[in-house]
Amino acid sequence: QFSFQENGWGASLAERLVRKCDVVNRGLSGYNTRWAKLILPRLINKSTSADSTVAVTIFFGANDSALKDLNPKQHVPLEEYAANLKSMIQYLKSVDITEDRIILITPPPLQESAWEKECLAKGDKLNRRNATTGEYAQACVQVARDCGTDVLDLWTLMQKNQDFSSYLSDGLHLSTKGNSFLAAQLWSRLEKKLSALPSLLPYWRDVDHANPEASLL
């Protein structure tokens, strides 16, 4: 949901793709795969032209991996999380969005000390663990392998040889730097798919001003 905020990764992709294709945000803050699986047919259905869908990203796990005893509302067991991802992929294929157009994104790592401050400020205990989030990220990668989709393993990439805290604004959600990192990683996977897309309508200098109909209709 936050991907279209200022400096968000969705907004960044939309800017790169102006006059080529629309980036549609169907993110829902706080949701998990159990709920997303139920509402996916409302978000993408057969009336959504599969022919014009270049890519679909599925980005869940940060909420599913919340600790059951401290956050039972958002928590989804690991095996169910994997099954829900597979179910969403199968649904998309049923409306003719093939696996080569689906990109799974793992949850990012959790910076526990920063997130604990956020929890304590609300009178709660630390309700997530980075190691647990990592198990969900691994499950997401395995689902992608099993189903033949692409996957962006944020959890691993953000922790590779570096302190990842600057990628997160509060230990859980992406910072401006984290959004930029995700946008760049995603673009590297999308660029080949999208580079061949034609621009919508000619550049203004190429319009025949004496006879605009000839250029525009």
Q: How many domains does the chain have?
A: 1
The answer to pTM > 0.85 is: yes
Alpha-carbon distances of 106 from 112, 142, 152, 194, 205, rounded to whole Å: 17, 11, 6, 22, 43
Output the tens digit of pLDDT for each of the chain's 217 residues. 999 999 999 999 999 999 889 999 999 999 999 999 999 999 998 877 777 899 999 999 999 999 999 999 999 999 999 999 999 999 999 999 999 999 999 999 999 999 999 999 999 999 999 999 999 999 999 999 999 999 999 999 999 978 899 999 999 999 999 999 999 999 999 988 787 788 889 889 999 999 999 999 9
CATH number for the domain spanning 19: value is: 3.40.50.1110
Under 8 Å between Cβ of 17 and 44: no
Give me the domain span that covers residue 45: 2-215
The distance between the two most distant Cα atoms of the chain, rounded to a whole number of Å, is 71
**Distance separating alpha carbons of residues 114 and 216, to the nearest angstrom:** 54
**Distance separating alpha carbons of residues 77 and 83, to the nearest angstrom:** 10
Q: What are φ and ψ of residue 59, in 5° steps?
A: -130, 90
